Each structure stands twice: as C-alpha cells, then as structure tokens.
C-alpha cells in the first residue's frame, strides 16, 4: 500500500472523506444539486453576479468579438486589451494607483509574497490567515516567520519587536530585510474583520509593510470597494490582494497598490510571467461586474440586509453564530460529526449548506457556514430558518 493509499484509508476510517455534490444549474438563490432543487446557502456568490444577465451577456459579446482564449502568456501575445481595461477599472474602483489580475485569488497571494520576499526577509501573519497565505510564505521560503494571536494587537506588537531585532542584521547582499505584516480582511470561517487601522499604525511604528487579503471584503465592505475603503485607509496599505470569484462572480485574483509596486510585480512575478492569463469571457464578465458595482451599491445593501436578518433570526432561536461582523454566518456546533449530520439533514429539507470541519477550522470548532446573498429573498431565508430550526431540534442542538 502506498503512502497516499494509507492516508486515504485513515480518512475513510474516520468518516472524513469529502464528497463533492454535483451542481447542474446556474448559480443563484436556488440551484440544482445532485438532481434536486435546493436553497443555496454555501456559495461565495455574495451579490448574485455569477449569473447576472448583464455579466453573462458581456462574456458572450466578448467571445463573438475576441474569441475564447488568449493564446499565450501576457508577456508574449496574450495581453488582451480587455485585461488592461479591467486593471484600469479595478484600480479606479478600489481607489488605488494601479492593479493587475492573475488567474485566482490563491495565485494572487503567492505572487504578492513570493515576488517580494525571500528566505532572509520577515513575515508576521495572523494565526487564522487563509491557506493560500500560509502556502505563499512557504513557497517564498521565508525562514523568519512569526504568527500573532488572531486580531490581537498586543501579540502583533510583540512579534514586531522580535522582528525589529532580526532586521538589525542586514541581508547577505547588504540590503535591509523587509518586514511584511499579512492579514485577511474578513476572516472567511468566522466572518470577523481585521482591525486594519491598528495594524497600519503598528506597521508605521516599526517600519513594516502591510498586506491585506480582501477576498471576502471586496463587494462586501466599504460599499463594495473593500476593507481599505471601509476604514478609509487609502494609500496606507501597501498591498491589497483580492479574489474575483466571490462577490464579483467570475474567476481570478488581483493585486492593487502604488504604481511602482504593480510595475515590479509585472516584471518579476513568476506565476504571472509563466502562465496564461484570464480568458476573454472571464475578463469581459469581470469588467461588467465592476461596472455594476461602480454605478450602485444596491446589491451590497441587500446583502447586508439579508445577513443581518439571518443572523438575528438564528440568535432568536437560541443558536450560536460566533463573532461574525459580516454576512458570513457561522452556525457553531463544535462536534465534527454533528456538523456533518446537520448538513445532511438540511439537504433532506432542501437547504444546501456544507459542514466546515478540520482542517478548515480547528478540531472542536466545527460549524455550518451559512452564506446569504443579495439574490435571496426574505421568503428564501424564512424557508432556510424553518429547516434549520427543525434540524436543530431533531439533533438536540436546541429544544
């Protein structure tokens, strides 16, 4: 038996094999999953743009004019006019000097860290940062890594003091070591928000750079413009990373910042230079999503209204929604098998909400992560609440 087969057997024995349900419809409030029409409460399609008629039409029109693929990496013949227009529009929307797009939010984090740092530099990272940040630091082979307690500014300052001492010794090439503080903007499993103003203040005090992964903040916070707009910190956060597959409804990642930073990334980033960029329809669809958000924050307001309604209703049932500050609504259950059973029971009642268990969250912190969107109606949420109450009573989570 090979090592991977042995590992698989352990997962099977623990009942931890993930089963991927099949979706056979467009994304929306209701979708077809494994042949059944169910209420979708586990999508990151926050604003309902994944199947918005204007977005799909933009993709179709672009295919008719430009084709589907770009044929090469952007450094060769694959740099479409649509790529450059999207980047200009993203920068304007986010209030930054420049932006550029890559194939995914995961890749964007790798580009942001690997291109800027090497093993002699220093990273200070929130303990609950996304897996893509953890992997980006590994790929950069940074040897001096510090983890601070989640959203704890006293802990962050302690790590900065240690990092400052390390910084006193120059790199082998004689240049100064960089200190990079990295945080998620919105933490996807709990829905809480990073204290970005305090992080920026500490970064300035200790001459560190700041990087925020705003994957769950773009389209959600700051009238859709993200966490930097939310806290009015324009020009004070060095690196803004985002994903284009959640609130914007398509695929891709982006990095925004000052002009020199983005120019540097475009010259040096290996995943950008050696991999074909976004397809034509994806890029055109994203331009329309940005256009919709630039003209109105109606969808953002609806998202927040739905999130608050769901959260308040769950609390009134006596259920624990953790410390969320956003529409992300974790239904805290603790036990992993309970979370799996809860999800399975909800599906029987036509509500699709997947269990979140280890390693996505620590053991003992299992939950159902409920994700309302702007496409849900109050009637949809009431349907979900009825099923959640019924399931919680059946599994003895509440009386």
Alpha helices in the chain (DSSP H): 3-13, 53-66, 81-94, 105-114, 131-139, 153-167, 196-205, 227-230, 259-268, 270-273, 280-295, 298-316, 336-348, 378-394
Cα distance between residue 242 and residue 184, in whole Å: 10
User: Which of 216, 225, 230, 302 is the catalytic position?
Assistant: 216
Instruction: Verify whether residue 316 is a known catalytic residue.
Output: no
User: Which of 132, 188, 245, 343 is the catalytic position?
Assistant: 188
Q: What token pair was written down for 96? A: 């930054």
Instruction: Verify whether residue 305 is a known catalytic residue.
Output: no
User: Which of 246, 302, 365, 376 is the catalytic position?
Assistant: 246
> What does DSSP say about strands 122-126 and 209-213: parallel, antiparallel, or unpaired?
unpaired
Q: What token pair was written down for 121? A: 């530099």
Cα distance between residue 389 and residue 399, in whole Å: 9
Task: Order across the sheet with 253-257: list the strands.
Answer: 98-102, 253-257, 239-243, 209-213, 179-184, 122-126, 144-148
Q: Is the peptide bond before 216 cis (omega within 30 degrees of 0)?
A: no
Instruction: Verify whether residue 223 is a known catalytic residue.
Output: no
Q: To the nearest 10°, report the CA torsion of 280, 282, 288, 290.
A: -120
Question: Do 128 and 193 contact (CB within 8 A), yes or no?
Answer: no
Cα distance between residue 29 and residue 12, in whole Å: 32
Cα distance between residue 190 and residue 115, in whole Å: 30
Q: Which residues are catalytic?
A: 188, 216, 246
């Amino acid at each position: 038996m090979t090592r991977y087969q042995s590992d698989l057997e352990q997962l099977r024995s623990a009942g931890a094999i993930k089963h991927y349900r099949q979706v056979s419809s467009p994304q929306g409030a209701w979708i077809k999953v494994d042949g059944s029409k169910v209420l979708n409460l586990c999508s990151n399609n926050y604003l309902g743009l994944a199947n918005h008629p204007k977005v799909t039409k933009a993709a179709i029109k672009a295919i008719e004019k430009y084709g589907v693929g770009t044929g090469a990496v952007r450094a060769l013949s694959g740099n479409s006019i649509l790529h450059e227009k999207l980047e200009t529009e993203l920068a304007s929307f986010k209030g930054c000097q420049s932006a550029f797009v890559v194939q995914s939010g995961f890749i964007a984090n790798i580009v942001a860290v690997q291109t800027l740092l090497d093993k002699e530099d220093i990273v200070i990272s929130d303990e609950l940062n996304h897996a893509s940040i953890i992997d980006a630091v590994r790929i950069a082979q940074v040897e001096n890594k510090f983890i601070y307690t989640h959203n704890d500014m006293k802990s962050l300052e302690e790590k900065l003091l240690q990092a400052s001492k390390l910084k006193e010794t120059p790199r082998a090439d004689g240049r100064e070591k960089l200190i990079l503080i990295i945080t998620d903007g919105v933490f996807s499993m709990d829905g809480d928000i990073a204290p970005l103003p305090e992080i920026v203040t500490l970064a300035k005090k200790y001459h560190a750079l700041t990087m925020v992964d705003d994957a769950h903040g773009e389209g959600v916070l700051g009238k859709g413009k993200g966490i930097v707009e939310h806290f009015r910190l324009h020009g004070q956060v060095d690196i803004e990373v985002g994903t284009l597959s959640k609130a914007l409804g398509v695929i891709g990642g982006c990095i925004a910042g000052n002009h020199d930073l983005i120019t540097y990334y475009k010259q040096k980033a290996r995943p950008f230079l050696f991999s074909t960029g976004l397809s034509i329809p994806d890029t055109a669809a994203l331009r329309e999503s940005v256009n919709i958000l630039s003209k109105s924050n109606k969808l953002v307001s609806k998202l927040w209204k739905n999130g608050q309604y769901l959260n308040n209703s769950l609390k009134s049932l006596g259920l624990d929604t953790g410390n969320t500050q956003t529409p992300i609504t974790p239904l805290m259950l603790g036990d992993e098998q309970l979370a799996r059973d809860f999800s399975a029971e909800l599906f029987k009642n036509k509500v699709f909400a997947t269990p979140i268990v280890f390693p996505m969250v620590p053991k003992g912190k299992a939950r159902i992560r409920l994700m309302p969107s702007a496409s849900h109606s109050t009637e949809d949420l009431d349907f979900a609440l009825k099923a959640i109450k019924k399931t919680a009573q059946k599994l003895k989570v509440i009386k």
